[in-house]
């Protein structure tokens, strides 16, 4: 991991680009630069993610591959998990659901050949996208720059140093949630299956075993997702 971006000259940074964050374990102040992914607390040695991480420079920077290119899968997961916790602010149910989608997506990725960066990002951030749509379906369409109601998701992806074409693919998957039944792309298929798996784990007694069997038969896109659903929910 490169902890400092070689393309950024701190000479041009503003006062908000270096800041102190309280250690979530002991409360000690820990100084962060905006492009530090994580730092260790000097007092209790707890290592934690920079909650105000901003790798926005990576979208255009010539050094992005040396810098953000080295962000591993675990790191990306940590960064996006921290972003979703920040967004849903203590709403444990929503946070749990998003993390559940992530776990299912990773499990499916073990067998299906998707792009981990795209699938993992879309899986974690999926619920933020849906929440934004549900919050205000009308306004979201008019005011959003990307035109698809996903400005919150875009902002997080940008700060996480994800390149534009990848950001677009991730947003495309989330934006297409309302016409779920048609997709030819494996990354979308994996994400949608992970969402279905997470949703099925909620209470739906009324549906009964027969109904559930039917749902599983018709909702899943990947053989792995379908098999997992049968194993977990239809025994
Ligand atoms: Zn500490």
| C-alpha of residue 38 to centroid of ligand 1, in Å | 13
Dist. CA 82 → ligand 1 center (Å)? 17
The CA distances from residue 109 to 55, 117, 125, 127, in Å, are 26, 11, 17, 19
What pLDDT shows up at residue 179? 64
Distance in Å, CA 78 to ligand 1 centroid: 18
Q: What is the pLDDT of residue 178?
A: 65
Residues of the chain with pLDDT under 50: 1-3, 142-143
Position 235 scores a pLDDT of 60
- What is the distance in A from the centroid of ligand 1 to the CA of 136? 39
Structure tokens at 38: 């994580």
Q: Are 155 and 73 in contact (CB under 8 A)?
A: no
Query: What does the pLDDT read at residue 1?
Result: 44
**DSSP code string of 56-90:** GGGGT-TTHHHHGGG--HHHHHHHHHHHHHHHHTT
pTM (2 decimals)? 0.78
Question: Per-domain residue ranges for the chain?
Answer: 1-71, 72-233
pLDDT reported for residue 184: 76
User: Residue 99 has what pLDDT?
Assistant: 96
Residue 46 CA, ligand 1 centroid: distance in Å: 5
Distance 31 CA to ligand 1 centre (A): 12
CA atoms within 13 A on the CB side of 202: 11
Whole-number Å distance, alpha carbon 12 to ligand 1 midpoint, is 30
CATH of domain 72-233: 1.10.3210.10
Locate tokens 């992530």: which residue? 102
32 C-alpha vs ligand 1 centroid, how far in Å?
A: 14
CA of 47 to the centre of ligand 1 (A): 8
**Cβ-based neighbours of 6, under 8 Å, separated by 6 or more:** 63, 66, 67
What b/e readout covers 88-100, taking b as 16+ CB neighbours within 10 angstroms?
beeeeebbebbbb
Please name which of 131, 156, 151 lies closest in space to residue 141, comparing C-alpha atoms.
151
Q: Could you give the CA distance from residue 230 to residue 233 in angstroms, rounded to a whole number?
A: 5
Query: What pLDDT does residue 69 have?
Result: 52
CA 49 / ligand 1 centre spacing (Å): 12
Give the Å distance between the CA of 94 and the centre of ligand 1: 27
């Amino acid at each position: 991991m490169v902890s400092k971006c070689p393309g950024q000259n701190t000479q041009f940074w503003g006062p908000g680009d270096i800041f102190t964050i309280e250690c979530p374990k002991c409360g000690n102040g820990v100084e962060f630069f905006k492009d530090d992914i994580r730092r260790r607390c000097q007092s209790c040695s707890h290592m934690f993610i920079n909650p105000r991480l901003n790798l926005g420079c990576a979208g255009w920077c010539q050094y992005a591959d040396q810098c953000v290119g080295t962000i591993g899968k675990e790191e990306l997961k940590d960064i996006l998990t921290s972003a979703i916790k920040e967004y849903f602010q203590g709403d444990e149910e929503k946070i749990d659901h998003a993390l559940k989608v992530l776990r299912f997506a990773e499990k499916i990725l073990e067998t299906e050949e998707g792009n981990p960066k795209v699938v993992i990002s879309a899986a974690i951030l999926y619920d933020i996208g849906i929440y934004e749509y549900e919050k205000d379906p009308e306004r979201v369409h008019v005011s959003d720059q990307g035109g698809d109601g996903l400005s919150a998701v875009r902002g997080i992806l940008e700060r996480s140093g994800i390149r534009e074409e990848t950001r677009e693919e991730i947003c495309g998957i989330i934006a297409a949630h309302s016409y779920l039944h048609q997709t030819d792309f494996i990354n979308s298929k994996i994400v949608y299956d992970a969402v279905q798996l997470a949703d099925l784990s909620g209470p739906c007694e009324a549906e009964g075993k027969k109904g559930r069997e039917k749902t599983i038969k018709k909702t899943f896109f990947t053989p792995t997702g379908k098999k997992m659903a049968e194993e977990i929910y239809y025994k």
